[in-house]
Amino acid sequence: MRIVLLCALLLQALPTFSFDFSQNQLGWPGKRLDGVPCRGKGGGYGPFDYTDPKNQGETLNRVYRAHFTPQVEHLIHGQSGTILADLDYTLRAIPNQHQALYAVIRLSFLGRRDYRGMLSYSHTSPTPPECYLQRAIKYRPKDGQVKVLYGIYLYKRKRFKSAFRMFNAAIKLMPDSSEAYYNRGLTLVRLKRYDLAKDDATRAYDLGFPLDGLRNKLKKLGYWK
């Protein structure tokens, strides 16, 4: 089963907040999936809100040139260090950078020797994706796309009930997100709540979601004609 992230949805205009965290105030909230408190590096540039138009010029481009190049985004090679080091810098500077969050999720599942430890939770493990995602949610709790990404990650970790709750939270913030409905529908299939999955599929396709994966699954189960 493939969960799809639509790049076209990544730049939705979202509300910003009058209060901005410093790096120290933001810290590393939340816990890893094994219950251990999140931790990671501190300090550095930012943090800056990815969804705030005033940051879209040189403020963010400084990070992109040095750390979040297309090669890093597509997990080909690092720019200033390893891929993970560049993603880490990017997400500390721009906590809710949607493409970088999705890249760190993909990286954790690639099975490459250098990055396998992201999900192993040893005492030497690098910061796992859920910690970057929780940090982004603390930074901008009304950024619904971050919650979609967290839902995708939880789904891939087979935490289907938690994924369902995260997609619910995303839909409350973005009631017209075809991506959120589609992915919640896939999650509902895994939870064997097929009638509700059909409702989400109908909504996703009415909103223009282009892929047939959810519809095909429901057809095989006899819930879609």
Over residues 24-55, the pLDDT tens digits come to 899 999 999 999 999 999 888 999 999 999 99
- State the chain's mean pLDDT as an integer: 90
β-strand partners of 37: 31
- Hey, what are 135's tokens? 């940090």
DSSP state of 217: H
Task: Give domain limits for the chain.
Answer: 39-141, 144-225
Over residues 61-79, the pLDDT tens digits come to 999 999 999 999 999 999 9
Local confidence band at 116 (pLDDT 50, 70, 90 cut-offs): low
- Compute CA distances 60 → 43, 69, 72, whole Å: 17, 12, 15
**pLDDT over 60 (residue 176):** yes
Superfamily of domain 144-225: Tetratricopeptide repeat domain (1.25.40.10)
Over residues 137-167, the pLDDT tens digits come to 999 999 999 999 999 999 999 999 999 999 9
